[in-house]
Structure 1
């Protein structure tokens, strides 16, 4: 009960369809490899063949990979899924050279306007134009294939080293070994003594791994700088912005508004510090300290009812989608041994469904998380009728629907909440916002400084700690106790340790604030905004971030838009501080 059903994909590893699809995958890769050798002319027929082959292969890969990774996420001790995933990656490796050749073929199309007279090709206009526009950053196909092969035992291993060390390393906590994940989770403890001791032991524990992680980070960022130079990008940020379909001016507008809002967030942090008995700003170990705890218990059934009822106030389409999720067992709710922590949603456009992993805790936060993940499912629902090559949305847009749905639920809950529940909900929302605004800004500044410095030097662990503290001082300012910050945030955030995803930070701020700006638009326009919002979601995979905003009636390239979005948060801070001005 309360587990997901994956039979829409396969019933198990012994399902004949799963076995047949693995054989089919090999056949389709063989066909793709053969196709790559016959790309002599650009024609409607040949481009159609390429697009069809990629669509079919993409759907098959995603079906197999989703089934295996979803099973592994709830049964990590089952090595059969790991083994099958490894075999799948090996099978896919045999298509790398062909994929690089096909990319070159599509990038060299010079008569796209003529080809777009064909309806099927026209459906892929954005996909093709993007490949053509990025042609200047491509290397010759043989070099692309060589880099991919070298990376397997090169930069990929540095990424894997980070994952292995941080997952397996144990540090001392009260005389007992504890994993990094578990000691960091103690930051949410209701006991102030536990929070402080966990922080101190965490900081001390990094000493044992700081040099290995510093080598890993230096190697990855050095590799990134090399690839930026080889491909002809201005810098790693330009490479990230292009892959994010975003103009640098839009990012500048976002951070301009964030920078102007920092005094309000610092005031919130100082207020929280005083509520907890601190006089010199909030010590880092109390950033996530719970202030109050509602006595109300939330069952899964109550959570589903709250989500459905609040979503129905927005649209029947949204409410009907989540009802499908409840009725058809799309959600794996409860924590259990060998199930990964946290929560996520996996869109499955090839079967027009989604799956949600949750670790439900019978509290209000778990209800909000459910709404958040089902927002991702709704986003998947709005793009499920696209061709497979048109189902990928970029990171800045990825959190739009989820945050929007979280707002729908939270705003509804606030209307009927008791004082204690209201304090809890407001503080949770503001605390989360502080992370995706203030902390994310510090991470962006840190990563930028690391990439800049890495051009000329190897950065020791001490260098990295100094850069991190400098970034935190610039964003948190007097909101944090300057003597109790976190110099090792570079060591505990895996986002830095990916050569393919640089600046995996600002998209969180973009998504959080974009959704708030859209919600403000909904409050302003009412029901007439709903169809505009749904149309926007449907186009998030085939437009730039700026054009997506235009569809919703907002201009994301202006600082004024982001300031209006932040206005929702500063209003929350004012309400929270007024509600707690006499204490809790």
Structure 2
């Protein structure tokens, strides 16, 4: 039997182990840099906290000192981020790795200290007059941070005093972030009983989730139920965690509302580099697109010989059919992606091959792997890594194409200054979902039978259902939860109902039953660093579709314009990016509706394939 699983990644180019002396050396360098920042703060802090207007000499001194701190902080971030990324990568593959846990815990004090030491600079950048900031940004290397500084200043009305900001930073490590770490550790250790070969087998959550990519409807449903049973035993703990996460953020909104009211959606929208008006336009169009997306879900159910879509069908592959491949070894899946990427430009295909040859992809199956997939990068070497559990399905190829899109986005920006390489959450999903579409369409063009065409088009329908129904379901739940949480913490039963109502609202009569425990099993609700990590996927999907739909009309200019757009994601808002590169207005429903309208033909084509193949 062919082994379909993916390879293990190589992290040795960064460190040999969590106890590598090189980590100690990096942390020693970090400590030296932080000491220098602390010394500079002795000059800057009195200047930024002074209640008296600064004279010309004091302002010049503040500008010069802040510039020095900028240079020191850029270096410090690398020496802090590198071991942090390494520890996270090790724990993703082996959640019980004791040395990696110790390293992760050890890094906490450095994160707290760095955050506290940067508060005076943050106050200087956010509270200084425009002419002072213009002077600060007038010379390199600080001038490279102009867009980031001005974007941050949009929220300067939210700032607390220096002492209060330091207190928030210190308390957050054992406060909001501790709840996030609790969930992450729990998800890595959780075990569940699944049915396999007529026997009950104990597996980790990631392995159980992989079974939800089976072509057996019974296996998928059993795995879904097994995961929910495992989480049910920890329902009270997870309810406490999600209530604490939301409670912390809501309290911070109140504390930061001294000048003007801060809404809980303001922070994620700002972090995504989009306006609230753009978010409203996207959700309006998604709501109006429910009938089309539900048709896609019903057609997928019909392909499995049933009338309604189940919550265990979110990652279901196309049903097994004659003349349609059902399992793809990793090397085959990678080849499919490389060829599809290469059709846009040869450099994109070469990039995929490089990721594999350098062993920058983790795709093994293991009992202690954490669920999910992601792309990360090492700050010192500026090299990306892709993490997933590859099981050989077409869905796995899509996930791999998605994460390699993230990696390519990182790669085309690697030569830019660090201040221009941080893009918003929504824009972060642009290259990834573009990569998915590339691969799906490339494989569809090679289909020689209706059965093969249906197997490939299935992935397109899966994307439409995921992005236009599942993602809005998550958004509606989280929004309704935060609104209710403003009054008091919610009980597990209330969280179940909110989740159930959201599923029903979006899936409607296409759904067999709601997943009332999705609020526990979905990792994104428990990420402590960000909230509402759902609408960025919808934005990224539709935005990338809009880009993809322009591929033909742009002709030979497309790749240069596409890569140029990606390079600008860290130095433009999403609205400015669309105006500059696509001549579009993201704040209007019309932009998004035009993109969704182009998906209608894909749904109709899939329904016709189902009628032909599944009759």
Fold in common (TM above 0.5): yes
- Sort the Cα spacing of 1:334 and 1:217 in 2 relative to 1 into closer, same or farther, 3 A: closer
1:56 paired to 2:75? yes
The 3 A distance-change label for structure 1 pair 408 and 353 is: same
For 2:3, the equivalent position in structure 1 comes to none
- Report if aligned partners of 1:335, 1:359 keep a CA contact under 8 Å in 2: yes
Give ranges in structure 2 of 5+ residues lacking alignment: 1-5, 48-57
Partner of 1:124: 145
* Distance in 2 separating the partners of 1:467 and 1:416: 43
Q: Secondary structure at the match of 1:234?
A: coil
**Hey, what does 1:137 align to over in structure 2?**
158
Q: 2:272 aligns with which of 244, 268, 281?
A: 244
Correspondence 1:304-343 to 2 at 5 A:
304-336=334-366, 338-343=368-373
For the pair 1:430 / 2:434, whether they are aligned, the reply is: no
Aligned match of 2:576: 547
- Tell me which residue corresponds to 2:52: none
Give the match for residue 117 of structure 2.
98
CA deviation after TM superposition for structure 1 residue 129, in Å: 1.5
Q: CA deviation at 1:137?
A: 0.8
Q: Residues of 2 paired with 1:180 and 1:244: CA distance?
A: 30
1:501 is paired with a residue whose SS is coil
Q: Is the 8 A contact 1:345 1:376 kept in 2?
A: yes
Q: Residue 389 of structure 2 is aligned with which of 350, 354, 359?
A: 359
Deviation, structure 1 residue 415 = 0.7
Task: Indicate the larger mover: 376-385 or 512-521.
Answer: 376-385
Superposition deviation, residue 116 in structure 1: 3.2
Q: Any conservation in 1 of the 2:285–2:592 contact (CA below 8 Å)?
A: yes
Change (3 A) 1:74 1:176: closer
**Secondary structure, counterpart of 2:465 in structure 1:** helix
Contact kept? 2:333, 2:397, Cα under 8 Å? yes
Partner of residue 442, structure 1: 473
Partners of 2:213 and 2:391 in 1: CA distance: 14
Whether 2:249 is the aligned partner of 1:224: answer yes
Q: 2:290 aligns with which of 259, 262, 266?
A: 262
* Higher alpha-carbon deviation: 34-43 or 295-304: 295-304
In 1, Cα distance between equivalents of 2:65 and 2:364: 49
1:463 corresponds to which residue?
Answer: 494
Aligned to 1:147: 168
Alignment of 1:444-523 (within 5 A): 444-481=475-512, 484-523=513-552
Per-residue Cα deviation, 1:346-383 (whole angstroms, up to 9, x for no partner):
23354242222343334433433333222112111122
The DSSP-based 3-state class of the residue aligned with 2:386 is strand
Structure 1: 5+ residue runs without aligned partners? Answer: none
- The answer (yes or no) to whether the contact 1:430–1:569 under 8 Å persists in 2 is no
The Cα of 1:77 is off from its aligned counterpart by: 4.2
Q: CA deviation at 1:398?
A: 0.9
2:29 corresponds, among 24, 28, 43, to 24
- Match among 334, 344, 352 for residue 374 of structure 2: 344
Q: Which moved more, 1:533-542 or 1:181-190?
A: 181-190
The 3 A distance-change label for structure 1 pair 74 and 182 is closer
In the alignment, the residues of structure 2 paired with residue 202 and residue 15 of structure 1 have an alpha-carbon distance, to the nearest angstrom, of 36
After superposition, the C-alpha distances for 1:478-517 in whole angstroms (9 at most, x for unaligned) are 1113xx2212211212322345422111111111111111
Deviates more, 1:7-16 or 1:49-58: 7-16
What is the aligned-residue RMSD (CA, Å)?
Answer: 2.7
Higher mean C-alpha displacement, 517-526 vs 208-217: 208-217
Deviations along 1:65-123, whole A, 9 cap, x unmatched? 23333333334443222212221222332333222222112223322223333232221
Contact residue 347 and residue 376 of structure 1 kept, 8 A: no
Cα pair distance change 1:226/1:520, threshold 3 Å = same
Pairing of 1:55-74 with structure 2 (within 5 A): 55-74=74-93
Q: What is the DSSP-based 3-state SS (H/G/I as helix, E as strand, rest coil) of the residue aligned with 1:355? A: strand
Q: Deviations over 1:218-254 (max 9, x none)?
A: 2222222111111114310122212222111111111
Question: Quick check: 1:369 aligned with 2:399?
Answer: yes
Other-structure match for 1:192:
217
Task: Give, in angstroms, the shift of residue 176 of structure 1.
Answer: 6.3
CA distance in 2, matches of 1:19, 1:165: 28
SS in 2 for 1:552: helix
Query: What is aligned with 2:235?
Result: 210
Q: What is the distance in 1 between the residues matched to 2:225 and 2:397?
A: 32
For residues 531 and 209 of structure 1, do their structure 2 counterparts lie closer, same or farther at Cα, with a shift above 3 Å needed? same
Is the contact between residue 350 and residue 388 of structure 1 (CA under 8 Å) also seen in structure 2? no
Is 1:574 aligned to residue 600 of structure 2?
A: no
More off after superposition, 269-278 vs 485-494: 269-278
Structure 1 residues 4 and 503: alpha-carbon distance in aligned structure 2, compared to 1, 3 A threshold: closer
Give the 3-state SS of the residue equivalent to 2:391 in structure 1.
coil
Matches of 2:107 and 2:204, distance apart in 1 = 30
Worse overlay, 457-466 or 285-294: 285-294
| TM-score of the aligned structures, taking structure 1 as reference length | 0.91
- Give the Cα separation in 1 of the matches to 2:568 and 2:315: 36
Distance 1:223 1:21, change over 3 A: closer
Does structure 1 residue 272 correspond to structure 2 residue 300? yes
What is the total number of aligned residue pairs between the two structures?
A: 581
In 1, distance between residues paired with 2:182 and 2:95?
Answer: 19
Conserved in 1, the CA contact under 8 Å of 2:298 and 2:510?
Answer: yes
How many angstroms does 1:286 deviate by? Answer: 4.1
CA 1:316–1:171 in structure 2 vs 1: closer, same or farther (change >3 Å)? Answer: closer
| 2:136 counterpart residue number | 115
CA separation of 1:84/1:36 partners in 2, compared to 1, >3 Å: closer, same or farther?
same
Distance 1:207 1:366 in 2: 27
Is the 8 Å Cα contact of residues 126 and 153 (structure 2) preserved in structure 1?
Answer: yes
